[in-house]
Structure 1
């Protein structure tokens, strides 16, 4: 594999992202619009589950099944009673946000196994990054610099000094699409597609922002299952679209000042509406 630099990456713009937003048709129902299965959050970090679920629902899915730990499920249902907490069919999985891989509980471990064996597209964050080694499914991983450095056995400086190269090399070695989070978000597919999104304000460097990004991406993946099955690079385009939407919603909610993640999430519908216009 040849080395990649930032110049090898094509900017992914709001106009590009617009084409990857699924708009419901008149004859759609909650199943045809896409169902996302979510296993995120933990007893230590139940808020991560709430943020990911909120972001996915504000991005647009027909149904969301939250199948994480009971404490996190209580928080999710308190905030979003439309979330379903019983197993059933889904089109994609969002796994790992707010989960410490060293303290997995039995429910989470079992759900991870079921998702890995489902053959459905997987969005893997934080505590689920290693699941890529135990599945034949199509995978996108969404690490930040520290998580990727830990997974690769490198220092954070190694990744931060050349994130474009780190994303591209990891995609080749892992056989997975990589979304490497940062002010410039680099997306690399195993097939060689390289995209970069740069719509995020610096205020977005805040706790919980990655949980929201995972929810946005999970929703986009669930609503584009057919495209993913027919295009090996669709997952990379969806990942870049999630980053653009995430950044634009942050810009809208910030207005030039500090951001809370829930305010970013609240801005998602208007952000998407503006993109579609």
Structure 2
């Protein structure tokens, strides 16, 4: 087990150079949100921009809301270097056409961050995939796979083993969210991120996390298998937690209440800290 640090995170984050343009910095496609949860799309798009991607393409029902917050966002479809899907959606309300489009993404070659309402579609996908379940979603996923549940009071080693076992069974990396977030990938990679403030436990922060990870994947340009997702997902979780600490720390040594947008707004500070920690 490896405790992920800013120095570790530096390996998955590239600062732009004078030779870069918006395309070489990466384009992330975000297919999230629903009529009932348009805010999830706004939060994911905001986080992707704040993490430092070159372009965000948004495809979904919240285009007007996304543009009101982030007018830089492109609403037309086109080539992307990574996808984020599922945030703010419910499979019970997903129509056949949307299911087919999501399955097409999962059958491709572009890396995919799969959150919330798209988790039910993941089973040995062709694309390099990371899933981002919280404890409840993780339990339902294991049940679908015929695996025993993980007791809420299970010790840390059992939880870690379950994350890695699930990654191997799915053929996808697993970022098991919680106060102690675990990144596990097929092939044996496992790391933990456990330094975030408890103020992070609030609605919408998972949507921010998904957008941040998608931005990292789009910028990486070299994710060709699920096994390579482990460090990138761990870095996304580290940035997310550090941004929450920065946001909460504005209200004193003990921290203070923050919202998901506060976390997204603090992502540039977390990114800057990682860039500064990169080995010379």
Q: What is the TM-score with the length of structure 2 in the denominator?
A: 0.89
Pairwise CA distance, 1:275: 2.1
Equivalent pair of 2:32/2:40 in contact (CA under 8 Å): yes
2:55 to 53, 63, 67: 63
Secondary structure of the residue aligned to 1:19 is helix
Pairwise CA distance, 1:100: 0.4
Secondary structure of the residue aligned to 2:151 is helix
Aligned to 1:273: 272
Provide the C-alpha distance between the structure 2 equivalents of 1:131 and 1:36, rounded to a whole number of angstroms: 20
Aligned to 1:259: 258
Equivalent pair of 1:145/1:156 in contact (CA under 8 Å): no
In the alignment, is residue 248 of structure 1 matched against residue 238 of structure 2?
A: no
Provide the C-alpha distance between the structure 1 equivalents of 2:239 and 2:201, rounded to a whole number of angstroms: 16
Aligned to 1:236: 230
Q: What is the TM-score with the length of structure 1 in the denominator?
A: 0.90
Equivalent pair of 1:20/1:241 in contact (CA under 8 Å): yes
Aligned to 2:118: 128
Provide the C-alpha distance between the structure 2 equivalents of 1:235 and 1:14, rounded to a whole number of angstroms: 17
Provide the C-alpha distance between the structure 2 equivalents of 1:260 and 1:156, rounded to a whole number of angstroms: 31
| Match runs of 1:92-241 below 5 Å | 92-105=82-95, 108-133=98-123, 135-153=125-143, 158=151, 161=154, 162-226=158-222, 228-229=223-224, 233-241=227-235
Provide the C-alpha distance between the structure 1 equivalents of 2:124 and 2:102, rounded to a whole number of angstroms: 10
Secondary structure of the residue aligned to 1:114 is helix
Provide the C-alpha distance between the structure 1 equivalents of 2:149 and 2:197, rounded to a whole number of angstroms: 22
Equivalent pair of 1:42/1:99 in contact (CA under 8 Å): yes
- Taking a change above 3 Å as real, the CA distance of residues 155 and 45 of structure 1, as seen in their structure-2 partners, is farther
Runs of 4 or more, structure 1, over 6 Å off, are none
Q: Note the residue ranges of structure 2 that are not aligned, 5 or more in a row.
A: 250-254
Equivalent pair of 2:33/2:60 in contact (CA under 8 Å): yes
Equivalent pair of 2:172/2:227 in contact (CA under 8 Å): no
Secondary structure of the residue aligned to 1:179 is strand
Provide the C-alpha distance between the structure 2 equivalents of 1:127 and 1:160, rounded to a whole number of angstroms: 26
- Taking a change above 3 Å as real, the CA distance of residues 258 and 216 of structure 1, as seen in their structure-2 partners, is same
Aligned to 2:252: none
Aligned to 1:6: none
Pairwise CA distance, 1:108: 3.4
Secondary structure of the residue aligned to 1:206 is coil
Secondary structure of the residue aligned to 1:89 is coil
In the alignment, is residue 74 of structure 1 matched against residue 64 of structure 2?
A: yes
Q: Note the residue ranges of structure 1 that are not aligned, 5 or more in a row.
A: 1-8
Equivalent pair of 1:116/1:134 in contact (CA under 8 Å): no
For 1:70-116, what per-residue CA distance to the aligned partner results, in whole angstroms no more than 9, with x for missing partners? xx121111111111111110011100011001111466334313312
